Structure 1
Amino acid sequence: MCEDPGMSPAMARALEDYRALLAAHGVTWGEDPVFYVKSMAADAYLMGPRDFWGVCYRKVAERHPGADARELEDHLCELDMDEVVRDVLAGDLPDNLAALRLTPSGAALEARAQAVLPGRSLRTTLLVDSSRDEPSTVLVDGRAHVVGPRGARLIGITGGSRVVADGEPVGLGPLVRPAAAARLRVRAGMPCRWSVYGAHGQGWYPEGVPHRRDAHVLPYFHGDDLVLDVPAEPLTVRVCRGMEYGSAEVAVTPAAGEETAVELVPGRLYDAAARGWYGGDMHVHLNWAGDMVGTPALAAAMQHGEDLHVLNLVAGNVSSARVYDAEALEHWAGRDLPWSDAAHLARVGVEYRNDLLGHFYAFAPQAPPSRFHTGFLGTADWPPNSAACEELRALGAVTGYSHPFHVPISEGDGPEAALLWRRNCSAREIVADAALGLVDALDVLNHSSVEATALVYRRLIGAGNRLAVTAGTDTMLSFACRGSQSSPPGWERVYARVDGPLTAASFAEAIRRGRTFATTGPWLELSVDGHGTGDTLSPEPGTRVAITVRSIGPEVERLEIRTSAGVLAEGPGGELTAELVVDGPDYVVATASGGPHERTFHPTGVHAHTSPVYLDAGGRRVARAEDVRWCLEWLDGLEAMVRAEGRFESERQLDDHLALYGRARAVYRSRLGRPPPAPPPGAGGG
């Protein structure tokens, strides 16, 4: 029962429970049907660029004319997700979907034929799409499915299913294209990520391997020297190995009845570990509902296949009380998972969650915390997140807020542009927690709005807070088809400059000291008078410092050097230099950016951002008045939102939040009068 690496009996029982939940409830596993849970049913069919949110809001606006944006959000759960899928696709058909169009004049099947090998059967989903003004009934394998007027239904079928519409059988022949069988062996000499696909992107996988798709809708699996059954027809074989490598691909047509060997090796772009840097993904879920159940063996294969140095598998809830993978944390807290080696480290950590105040990760706690979440199923939003930050840090963990902000904002926007009332997991409490030194980092690289998060991050450090840049993808191994969240872990990484061998302690300490940069792929290096990220210089006012930024990666289009005043210098990828005359306390960061590229899974393109090099001129930390006031305004908005939308069982619970904001305000106000003392020269962030 426990042959999977890292499996304890309690973990094995939990995975069996998850399989039962999947069988009983489908992709949601029976979680409380808030909208982000309800929408899971649509994810597998809406991979790639789609106008999902636009369609959803237009549909509820039609039902509720005159409602404002907040009111429309409250009505999203009214939507029928099958109809949303139909409307978002707008006639398009992905390869995991066939359509039965019901019109006033009859029924017609639309499908993209899938190659099927001898002895195999096709499993797919039928979208029944009605343009009729009256209900219709469709029989699938003897079961009646009623489709409302102008409605839609998603129904699982096989190539051998019997479908009846309007009393007549629907021929399913167009679904299947019989193909002669061949075998393919793929080998690179090291674990890699492989993609094997044919006409229209149809993917092929080894036996028993999950049929995963990444954010580019490319099929993939991990390993080396693998054999898979494929059709004897033209195929593309592609190999890559995480962001430190490029990719290689070849076209091949295997001979029927024979095994064809393909040997491909991805070229290396840079070797971070050789420079003393190690890349980690601070936010990966083994299980979080989904269309499959994630296992330790899958996590091990993906980590090594991506050459991901550090993997933080987080235990957390979805929308109810159950904490997925809590048993793994209980068993492995404080210890490396068994597939770890000198260059690959895996730990079980925590995602602490409150949808009003924000979510944050904890890396390398020595024991499970006393709580994992607040505010779900109508429970109180208490205590503040700060209490969990303190507890997890006391357990030895590094903490950082995850997927912080969700809509683009501009440099001139006030805090209200990012606060966005309603429960949406924005990292609202970070402005208080950062002021009080209760959190170590912010996932500036995330699956949501990198631009908005980077802007808030620079406001926070400009206001005198010391936070490291980190990265967390929120990849979910229990989803095979869910955009960036079914992409491989480590598609964004925080690179940390480690002293000595890679260990959980050395990696955590590097984050605490701010010796980091985060990236979707490119290498990004910042030097200020020979000092790197996390370092503190103490120049006298009037001193000139030399700044150099270097990037590696074909996807970089633009480099920037930034200080608290904004962009100091900019240029194309490669190398950028500038000189700064220090006229007061400041910081220097570097960024890299570019448009959509095959090496990034973020929908907005290429991103990288360093932690700062601090310039504590005259022995004082930066505390830019504009940024401090911005943070104070944020706290005012946060207090108003918590008073209006927070759920509390007593005034004392609300008072705990207000007291937290009061302590944070006192810190910021002190910085308006006089910047806080700087740490000793050479010390990192804290």
Structure 2
Amino acid sequence: MRKPSPHLWTLILLIGSTLFIGSRLFSEDVAPPEEAFEAEIHQRPDSPQPAFPQIAEGENTGTLKLQVLDSRTGEPLLCRVNVIGADDQYYEPSDSTLKPYSLHRLGNRKEKGPFRYYGWFFYSRGTEAISLPAGKTRIEVCKGFEYQPTALTVEIQPGQTYQAEIRLSRKLNMAQRGWYSGDPHIHLDRKTDEQDDIIFDLLEAEDIKYGQILCFGDINKYQPTMTTQLTPQMRGMGEESIRTRKDYSIISGQEYRCKTYGHILLLGARRLVDADGPTTDPNNWPLFGMVADETHALGGQAVHAHGGYEREIYADFAQEATDGVELLQFAVYRGIGLEGWYHILNAGYRFPALGASDYPFCRALGDCRTYAWIDTPTATRDNSPSITEWNDSVRAGKTFFTTGPLVEFSVNGKRPGEEVAITTSGTTPNTVRVRVKGMSLLSPVEELQLIHQGKVVQTKRLIGTERTGQFHWDVELPVEQTSWIAFRAWGKSVSERENTELHTNPVYVVVDEAPYASPASLKWLIGKVTEQYEEQAAREFPQREQVLKYFEKSRSLLEQRLEKYEGEAE
């Protein structure tokens, strides 16, 4: 067997204006700098030292023939696999069209969560032949958030072939309950049928029902042509681009980017936005509100990426110009964070949040994803819902977003994005019944939180098998006025870093048909819009006055709302 090779890892970073295009997203194995290695990600919990991908050669090797099968159908199953040899190093098949997507070639972005054990996985179509050093070999298989991860230890003999079979079981079928998983932020080329097949293989391996495959442009110069975009989408856009394989669907969209205002996801639109001209400096003009208007006219929705980078998003939501915010990414709440999002909700705006991976600029495809509830469950329809139905549910906030845990959350029987109407009667206090039923197969949950109008009003610490299994929680919650209620679950990694996160969108409780907005949150948001106004006022650029008028309008709308609700409070 060959001596351990240098560390194998192509670290892909998106810095400034990205320098790679399309098929150049991945390259041959290269040795990373020492500081790039993060033991928590790649070191098996029961291993005394870190390990790396290797190649087995020489006389003291054997072959593992592995089959991963669906326990229900007996068919080969697309999945994610780690194979750890007797030397405690990682091994993979020598040749596969999925090889470029293994952890040490694509993704695995340094210093980004979730911080949990991933090994050095490769993607498999369920049948593999792997050369290994002789001795005890561990096989680890997982598939998304709903399958039970499974491991098997076998003995490899020199010069011999060992036949191993692993059957993987879906522990929880969320689609049967009306919940469908999706990753709305994926960057891969779509030029050919073969590339579509690869994308479907990756989605199926991670059990992501709906994938939105996005092109993205230069942050300093925008041109509305697909040939100028990175990860080009050459199969059409919007409904024209939809392809389906079994229960999995993909659609092409766009990420429109700049440094000044942030990034924005344009989902479901039938073409690229013109963005006010053949060549545009997106750092000056147009504003995202205008881009969103064009996207809506093209049949799509506009969602602030990366938490809005805490920039123009504060002006856009105030004018109800955009449709939501990609909040959970890298296992953290980015940009405006939970604080900013809670203030927006407290101000009386229904502004949905979601989770997405930004693959391959992340740890793994779908490491953060969104589950959307679609009214008609699979059991009562012939086919799975369309990806446009999934987008409609996302836009309505009928979702939760997660790095692993799964949940069914309701308030008086209503799900996230829905409304509970209460009529006050006599002197009896208003209460609602909150029900939580969940499960986490991949990472431990430490604490459950009930969020009411932006405050954690009740918590529950999990112990024992609840942390990596099923959990239940019922709460009777007093409600005095119109407000919102959401649920969060979280847990840290072994090194106390970001790992387990789940958050629902709110259920809205309307008391006596009376709307409400928090004056304190409105003042906080007015301050944020003012900060952004001052940043733009300090710059010199041709459209400066138009931009300032836009921010002034947003501030004025918030001030009018503040005047109304401060007056009612008095």
TM-score bracket for this pair, using the shorter chain length: 0.7 to 0.9
Counterpart-to-counterpart distance in 2, 1:619 and 1:44: 60
Against the structure 1 CA distance between its residues 274 and 327, is the aligned structure 2 distance closer, same or farther, given a 3 Å change threshold?
A: closer
- Matched residue SS, 2:476: strand
Against the structure 1 CA distance between its residues 262 and 192, is the aligned structure 2 distance closer, same or farther, given a 3 Å change threshold?
A: same
Contact 1:196–1:205, Cα closer than 8 Å, also in 2 = no
CA positional deviation for 1:625: 0.9
Q: Which residue of 2 aligns with 1:389?
A: 292
Q: Which residue of 1 aligns with 2:172?
A: 270
Pair 1:245 & 2:147 matched: yes
User: Within 5 A, what are the aligned runs for 1:9-408?
Assistant: 32=17, 46-47=35-36, 49=38, 95=52, 114-118=54-58, 179-188=60-69, 189=75, 190-198=77-85, 199-208=87-96, 209-210=99-100, 211-213=102-104, 214=108, 216=117, 218-233=119-134, 234-286=136-188, 295-317=195-217, 319=219, 321=221, 322-328=228-234, 331-338=236-243, 340-341=244-245, 343-371=247-275, 380-404=283-307
Letter in 2 for 1:333: G
- What do the CA deviations read for 1:289-326 (whole angstroms, capped 9, x no partner)? xxxxx943432211011111111111103556541133
Letter in 2 for 1:381: N
Counterpart-to-counterpart distance in 1, 2:171 and 2:37: 27
Q: Which residue of 1 aligns with 2:421?
A: 538
CA positional deviation for 1:563: 1.0
Counterpart-to-counterpart distance in 2, 1:552 and 1:351: 33
- What do the CA deviations read for 1:341-390 (whole angstroms, capped 9, x no partner)? 352111111111122211121222222222499999x7742111111111
Against the structure 1 CA distance between its residues 296 and 615, is the aligned structure 2 distance closer, same or farther, given a 3 Å change threshold?
A: same
Counterpart-to-counterpart distance in 2, 1:278 and 1:657: 39
Q: Could you tell me which of 564, 582, 586 is aligned with 2:453? A: 564
Counterpart-to-counterpart distance in 2, 1:439 and 1:42: 43
Against the structure 1 CA distance between its residues 509 and 596, is the aligned structure 2 distance closer, same or farther, given a 3 Å change threshold?
A: same
Q: Could you tell me which of 488, 494, 502 is aligned with 1:591? A: 488
Contact 1:191–1:224, Cα closer than 8 Å, also in 2 = yes
Against the structure 1 CA distance between its residues 27 and 400, is the aligned structure 2 distance closer, same or farther, given a 3 Å change threshold?
A: closer
Counterpart-to-counterpart distance in 1, 2:402 and 2:315: 26
CA positional deviation for 1:179: 4.8
Letter in 2 for 1:222: Y
- What do the CA deviations read for 1:388-445 (whole angstroms, capped 9, x no partner)? 11111221223222222xxxxxxxxxxxxxxxxxxxx714111221121122222221
- Matched residue SS, 1:605: strand
CA positional deviation for 1:656: 2.3
Q: Which has the larger radius of gyration?
A: 1
Contact 1:281–1:493, Cα closer than 8 Å, also in 2 = yes
- Matched residue SS, 1:304: helix
Counterpart-to-counterpart distance in 1, 2:458 and 2:400: 19
- Normalized against structure 1, the TM-score is what? 0.65
Counterpart-to-counterpart distance in 2, 1:626 and 1:276: 37
Pair 1:672 & 2:558 matched: no
- Matched residue SS, 1:475: coil
Counterpart-to-counterpart distance in 1, 2:18 and 2:478: 56
Pair 1:548 & 2:448 matched: no
Q: Could you tell me which of 613, 618, 632 is aligned with 2:512? A: 618
Counterpart-to-counterpart distance in 1, 2:512 and 2:396: 21
Against the structure 1 CA distance between its residues 44 and 287, is the aligned structure 2 distance closer, same or farther, given a 3 Å change threshold?
A: farther
Contact 1:615–1:621, Cα closer than 8 Å, also in 2 = no
- Matched residue SS, 2:185: strand
Deviates more, 1:621-630 or 1:248-257: 248-257
Against the structure 1 CA distance between its residues 514 and 264, is the aligned structure 2 distance closer, same or farther, given a 3 Å change threshold?
A: same
Pair 1:582 & 2:484 matched: no
Q: Which residue of 1 aligns with 2:341?
A: 457
Please list every run of 5 or more consecutive structure 1 residues that lacks an aligned counterpart in the other structure.
Answer: 1-25, 35-39, 52-91, 97-113, 119-177, 289-293, 405-424, 477-481, 677-686
Q: Which residue of 1 aligns with 2:72?
A: none
Pair 1:467 & 2:339 matched: no
Pair 1:497 & 2:373 matched: yes
Contact 1:354–1:373, Cα closer than 8 Å, also in 2 = no
Counterpart-to-counterpart distance in 1, 2:155 and 2:318: 61
Contact 2:438–2:472, Cα closer than 8 Å, also in 1 = yes
Q: Which residue of 2 aligns with 1:434?
A: 317
Please list every run of 5 or more consecutive structure 2 residues that lacks an aligned counterpart in the other structure.
Answer: 1-10, 20-26, 41-48, 70-74, 109-114, 222-227, 377-383, 463-470
Pair 1:445 & 2:328 matched: yes
Against the structure 1 CA distance between its residues 115 and 465, is the aligned structure 2 distance closer, same or farther, given a 3 Å change threshold?
A: same
Against the structure 1 CA distance between its residues 540 and 675, is the aligned structure 2 distance closer, same or farther, given a 3 Å change threshold?
A: farther
Counterpart-to-counterpart distance in 2, 1:29 and 1:638: 25
Against the structure 1 CA distance between its residues 32 and 403, is the aligned structure 2 distance closer, same or farther, given a 3 Å change threshold?
A: closer
CA positional deviation for 1:48: 5.1
Against the structure 1 CA distance between its residues 597 and 445, is the aligned structure 2 distance closer, same or farther, given a 3 Å change threshold?
A: farther
Q: Which residue of 2 aligns with 1:421?
A: none
